[in-house]
Amino acid sequence: MSDFVCHLKQYRLAKGLTQEQLAAQVGVRRETIMRLEKAQYNPSLKLAVDIARAVEAPIEDIFQFD
């Protein structure tokens, strides 16, 4: 099984967003963002795309499977 690596926190902070603000932008709860940042949750493709758009970063730089 592949290891999931998430670099969301660095991109979120670079945009000056809190977890709550990003969650509101993409339509999820803050807990979902928190779990993503800890690599405890694999996002759906739609959520991954929405997050990448919100933080203006390539999806493959934010979410990686090793």
Q: What is the pLDDT of residue 2?
A: 54
Structural domains in the chain, CATH included, are 4-57 (1.10.260.40)
**pLDDT value for 1:** 41
- Please determine, for residue 24, whether its predicted confidence score (pLDDT) is greater than 60: yes
For the segment 62-66, the average pLDDT, to the nearest whole number, is 84
What separation in angstroms does the CA of 34 have from each of 1, 9, 42, 63? 23, 9, 12, 14
pLDDT range class, residue 10, cuts 50, 70, 90: very high
What are 26-60's pLDDT values in tens digits?
A: 999 999 999 999 989 899 999 999 999 999 999 99
SS3 labels along the chain: CCCEEECHHHHHHHCCCCHHHHHHHHCCCHHHHHHHHCCCCCCCHHHHHHHHHHHCCCHHHHEEEC
